[in-house]
Amino acid sequence: MKILLTNDDGIHAPGLMALRDAFSRKHEVTVVAPDRQRSAIGSSITLFEPLIVRRYEEKGMPHYSVSGTPADAVKLAVRELFGGRPDVVLSGINHGLNSGSNIFYSGTVAAAFEASMFDLPAIAVSGEARADADVRGMARRTLEIVRRILPQAKRGVVYNLNFPARKPRGLLVTRQEMVIYQDSFARRQDPRGRIYYWLHGSPEEKYDGRGAPEGEGLPTDAWALANGYASLTPLHRNLTDSERTHELKALFPGRPTPARDRNGV
């Protein structure tokens, strides 16, 4: 299996190395990742600067460090660097959970979405950020989970996998938690007397325990993780709210007829 491995914590991050080492025993791994920490950058791409790529070998595997974002790294890999198409794109293991509203900011998940835009099977992997986190164990478990997902992986879907810090009680299929976490800012004064603000706090610390499974329904990702399970959520790129389109059609009932030329006339 040919694997493209990326992340948003930078090419030297322990989580990326753990995945690389776990998968390279039996598979062909190519690493293309940002040259530095690029977390919380979402799907940003670089338009007004050139991208510098540095290639080196480590443990017999090609590594490309990219002076851009996770999405840049995936685009470059698929178009220029990888040579052919990977069988799967892995992003992670991120230092910190990517559940609930974190998904919108995550560079880790964004890299997987970028891969899905090329119709490649894409899996984002994140782990709870704790000093005693068992990153090697997460990587081993990811290998098992990817083996099971891949034969039936759907195009355009991102599989969002999250691990608690220590050995999970099991793996649950989940839905995205929709609780909006309360951001908080430290307000301080700099040496020149100016006030500055610094966003702080980790959403996972503030999770209030909602999102439990209802009847036969799925628990949320945040609930599964707070209860010691690993969490697997399928995500898609299309954000259209199909139910609301019916409401809007009542207000704006225009019917689509094709324009005669490309200028719409």
Residues that bind Mn ion (CB under 5 A): 8-9, 39, 94
The 3 state secondary structure assigned to 227-264 is CCCEEEEEEECCCCCHHHHHHHHHHCCCCCCCCCCCCC
Could you list the beta-strand ranges (E) of the chain: 2-6, 28-34, 53-58, 61-66, 88-95, 122-127, 157-163, 171-173, 184-189, 195-200, 230-236
CB nearer to Mn ion: pick between 106 and 233: 106
CB nearer to Mn ion: pick between 40 and 61: 40
Distance CA 96, CA 224 (A): 15
CB nearer to Mn ion: pick between 65 and 94: 94
CB nearer to Mn ion: pick between 110 and 219: 110
CB nearer to Mn ion: pick between 94 and 116: 94
Distance CA 152, CA 160 (A): 15
Q: Do 201 and 124 touch, CB atoms closer than 8 A?
A: no
Tell the smallest beta-carbon distance from residue 116 to Mn ion (Å): 19
CB nearer to Mn ion: pick between 105 and 150: 105
Location of structure tokens 């301080």: 188
Which residue of this chain has its Cβ atom nearest to Mn ion in the complex?
A: 39
Tell the smallest beta-carbon distance from residue 95 to Mn ion (Å): 6
Tell the smallest beta-carbon distance from residue 88 to Mn ion (Å): 20
Q: How far is CA 255 from CA 115, 243, 246, 252, in A?
A: 35, 18, 13, 9
DSSP state of 180: P
Contacts 24+ apart (CB under 8 A), 26-29: 26/1, 27/1, 27/2, 27/3, 28/1, 28/2, 28/3, 29/3, 29/5, 29/61
CB nearer to Mn ion: pick between 39 and 142: 39
Tell the smallest beta-carbon distance from residue 8 to Mn ion (Å): 4
